[in-house]
Amino acid sequence: MSEPPNRRDVPAPAFWREYPIGDVGEWARSWRRTLLAVVAGLAVVGVFALLAGWIGEERRAGFPDLDFLDQWIRQTMALVLLVGYLVVLLVCLAALIEEVASSRALARAADAGAPVHAVPHPGQLRLVVSDPGAGLTAFAVLNLAVAAIAVLGIAIVAWTDTFYDSMAVALAGILGYCLALIGALGAVGSRIRPAHRRRRERMAAHWPAEAEVAAWRRARGGGRAAAAAEGATGERQRIRWGGRLQYAGGAMLVAAYAALYVLLTVAYRRPPPRWWRLSAERHQYGEDVEYLLRTGFLLGAAAVVAGIVVIIVGLATNAAAHERERTRLRAALQDPSAPHPQFEVLHRHTERTPVPAASVVAMLGAMVLISTGGLWRAEPEGAGAGTALMVCSAVGAIMVAALWQWRGGRRGRELRNDLRARWPVPPPPERSGGAPVPATVGPVLHPDAGLDGDATGSGDAPSARG
């Protein structure tokens, strides 16, 4: 019986390794995750603005002056659309950079003679086996469709009415933008993707099908062993409570944000000219309404402080629990007779996931930035030191979130690799468009190999550093 192509003996039991992808790739990943949280913050502000407009229209007779509310909603929605467009474009670019950086890093590792049994982790291979720039391509195609509709609208107006000079400027801008998009699509299709495929072929030639299948078999066997393990469950309860506290604190901040902006809209004709002069341009209501407003402002401020405190407590609880688990796992790695850790513990410390708290910080920063920008655009005379402080704080929060994601991703790579080498577990299955993501269910460098081949992958793996 003839041997299958790319047949090669694996010198040691195979395992997964997370290879470094360089600073450019790491920053692209951290910014992609941060900007996705920013998109969520923009969506929240957009929903609040639409709800405020609907409530204002329904209650117009009950408010003395809604001109400012109307201006704020218009300017806020304009900023949501403009900033959202730019952020989505940056997310697509960051994803493309991350894919190319991962592909180049793994190809360099293969060319440098990385161990054949140290197969790249599925989380990295999923960026290699798919065509890069899929998000950017979809974004460009959608923009071209919108541009075509805009050109059609200009043509209809010019045909039925008259051709204005501003239409020529608009057509020139649309044409230039479309040419830039077509050039970007051409570069992705003619240069980036072919190079990506060539690097993938070099990886497939270096890491044979037997190694990839063996790594998956060991991970599935390790997953069954971890599921049946009776060892310590780690810090499950503390981590769950820490996560709940973070989400509760974030919900309190979002609720306080919404309540304070509603109260400001009801209490003021326009935003205060300075953030410390909260008595300026006030509507005057009856004693009962004024009491409710004062109470609402106090409760909103208290909710902001309480939300921040709850988030900090949740972060501290999670950090302490994760550090205790890492300490126990490091000690277990040094003990050849240590019991098999449970699946939940291994999954927490072998999968690279976003930092939830950093995502919350980025989302809140985006909400404050857009809302403050909407207030400034609606009433430029009201801008002052408070406006500048809020804008700088919001931008700083988003940058801190990106740094937090970057630091959280790089930290612990050595421990993750050591755990994958000794106690591998399969990655959580994911679905996209109703179909499973191939990299989360089986081999992808050699998709035809399957998991029913000859490789066994039994035995203990050496240290992931080897």
Let me know if residue 106 belongs to a domain. yes
The residue among 124, 101, 275 whose CA lies nearest residue 192 is 101
Let me know if residue 310 belongs to a domain. yes
The C-alpha angle 308, 312, 315, rounded to 5 degrees, equals 140
Tell me the residue length of the chain.
Answer: 466
Find the mean pLDDT for residues 253-275: 66
Higher pLDDT, 8 or 284: 284
- The structural domain count of the chain equals 1
At 330-339, the pLDDT tens digits run 988 898 888 8
Structure confidence at residue 386 (pLDDT): 61
Structure-block tokens of residue 3: 């041997």
pLDDT at 119 over 80: yes
Higher pLDDT, 381 or 121: 121
Structure confidence at residue 284 (pLDDT): 67
* Most trustworthy range by pLDDT among 43-57, 99-113, 128-142, 145-159: 99-113
Q: How far is CA 264 from the centre of its chain?
A: 32
Let me know if residue 140 belongs to a domain. yes
Let me know if residue 464 belongs to a domain. no
Q: How confident is the model at residue 255 (pLDDT cuts 50, 70, 90)?
A: confident
Let me know if residue 406 belongs to a domain. yes
pLDDT at 52 over 80: no
Higher pLDDT, 101 or 45: 101
- β-pairing, 15-17 with 118-120? parallel
Q: How confident is the model at residue 8 (pLDDT cuts 50, 70, 90)?
A: low
Structure confidence at residue 274 (pLDDT): 44
pLDDT at 25 over 50: yes
pLDDT at 250 over 90: no
- Distance from C-alpha of 451 to C-alpha of 216, rounded to nearest angstrom: 8
Structure confidence at residue 282 (pLDDT): 59
Structure confidence at residue 166 (pLDDT): 78
Q: How confident is the model at residue 202 (pLDDT cuts 50, 70, 90)?
A: very high
Domain that holds residue 279: 15-426
Higher pLDDT, 286 or 65: 286
pLDDT at 465 over 70: no
24-28, 51-55, 106-110, 398-402: range with lowest mean pLDDT? 51-55
Higher pLDDT, 386 or 320: 320
pTM above 0.75, yes or no: yes
Q: How confident is the model at residue 27 (pLDDT cuts 50, 70, 90)?
A: very high
Let me know if residue 358 belongs to a domain. yes
The residue among 199, 211, 238 whose CA lies nearest residue 102 is 199
Let me know if residue 462 belongs to a domain. no
Structure confidence at residue 66 (pLDDT): 58
pLDDT at 385 over 70: no
Mean pLDDT of the chain: 80
CB 281 within 8 A of CB 390: no
Find the mean pLDDT for residues 375-381: 60
Let me know if residue 454 belongs to a domain. no
Find the mean pLDDT for residues 371-400: 73
Q: How confident is the model at residue 50 (pLDDT cuts 50, 70, 90)?
A: confident
Find the mean pLDDT for residues 160-167: 77
CB 267 within 8 A of CB 282: yes
Structure confidence at residue 5 (pLDDT): 42
The residue among 211, 200, 247, 194 whose CA lies nearest residue 359 is 247
- Distance from C-alpha of 168 to C-alpha of 166, rounded to nearest angstrom: 5
* Most trustworthy range by pLDDT among 50-54, 96-100, 166-170, 433-437: 96-100
* Most trustworthy range by pLDDT among 193-202, 283-292, 362-371: 193-202
